[in-house]
Amino acid sequence: MAFHITGTGSALPQRSVTNDELSSFLDTSDEWIAARTGIRERRICTTETLDELAIAACRRALDAAGITSADIDLIVCSTTSGDHLMPAEACAIAEGLGVDCPAFDVSAACAGFVFALDIADGFFVRGRSQRALIVSAEKMSRILDWSDRATCVLFGDGAAACVVEAGGESPLAINLACKPNLTALAVPGIAGTSPFDETRDGDDARSAGATAQACALTMKGQQVFKFGVTTICDAVNGLCEQAGIEVSAIDHFIFHQANERIIKYAAKKLNRPLDFFQVSIGDTGNSSAASVPMALADAYASGRIKQGDKVILTAFGGGFTSGAVLFEA
């Protein structure tokens, strides 16, 4: 196992939607949303396609790494809300960057970025790639029920990318998992018109002419909250044990930005001051798979992460999938 991250970048839609704006058409308030989640505003696509955001994030990551798209020999994108089910989002990125290399998507919900990193690591180990673009891009606004205050206030759109190169000492430890749960967080498949399909039932997403609500994301919030906190803490302790270091040796904790309360709760359980934790959710909302690389890009852009620092990324999401990695910057 050997890779290092040499450049990061992110891209957000122009349009910011505040909690107050949501309150104008939902029975909610800035007070409720901010207190329960830490979110004050989120970015939502209006004219931007997800392809455009993903490509913009990749260009920024390439610039930060000081290389061009011609140097890239692998593109792995994680998304659950791509502009097209087929071709893969990664193919649109390859086309936008003018790159001719293996390009494909992975689907592991919010944990997708860490899964994609591990896949790239496998390519490096087998000598199949030297320099990869690992991208996460989400247009969550597309898959939300905008009349459901319990879910639509939580999410935002965005994309982020990393240039990852073979070589170096990282990752010091990595862990991927799935504790199968198909109902706590779910988005149904596309509607079909097969005359042979006998499983369709009334207004569900599999019926032709299903309502937008029937096709949208559903979530059991408290179940996800508990899974998130437990998973984060177990992941951090497990990675440190694998690497043979103390949790107190970690310089930066960059967790899935699902809810500020989850991050604060985990910080308390891990007995580390909040200063060590990246909190970016306030003005972006939860951008699913893109949230960890967006927070990582923010941490690099602000100069917080220095060479040699030990960083832990953890993410959890629908499935219930989870992924965590400990690396040296």
- Assign 257 to helix, strand or coil: coil
Q: In whole angstroms, how close is the CB of 188 to ligand ACO at the nearest point?
A: 14
Q: How far apart are CA 9 and CA 163, in angstroms?
A: 9
Q: How far apart are CA 91 and CA 54, in angstroms?
A: 11
Region from 50-58, 126-134, 218-226, 267-275 binding ligand ACO, contact rule CB under 6 A? 218-226
Mode of pairing for the β-strands spanning 41-43 and 16-18: antiparallel
Query: Contact between 149 and ligand ACO (CB under 6 A)?
Result: yes
| Binding footprint of ligand ACO, residue count (CB under 6 A) | 24
Indicate which residue of 110, 215, 233, 240 is catalytic: 110
CB closer to ligand ACO, 28 vs 181: 28
Query: Which amino acid, one-letter code, is at 83?
Result: D
Query: Contact between 228 and ligand ACO (CB under 6 A)?
Result: yes
Question: Taking the CB of residue 325, how many other CB atoms lie within 10 A of it?
Answer: 26
Q: How far apart are CA 145 and CA 158, in angstroms?
A: 18
* Burial zone of 218 (CB within 10 Å; 0-12 exposed, 13-18 middle, 19+ buried): middle
Query: Is 256 annotated in the active site?
Result: yes
Query: Is 19 annotated in the active site?
Result: no
Indicate which residue of 19, 152, 240, 256 is catalytic: 256
> CB under 8 Å to 252, separation ≥6 — which residues?
276, 277, 278, 299, 304, 305, 309, 310, 311, 312
Query: Is 58 annotated in the active site?
Result: no
Encoded one letter per residue, x for contact with ligand ACO by CB under 6 A and - for no contact, window 46-85 reads ----------------------------------------
Query: Contact between 265 and ligand ACO (CB under 6 A)?
Result: no
* Residue of minimal Cβ distance to ligand ACO: 221
Site for ligand ACO, rule CB under 6 A: 28, 32-33, 36-37, 109-110, 149-150, 153-154, 185, 219, 221-222, 224-225, 228, 258-259, 286, 288, 317-318
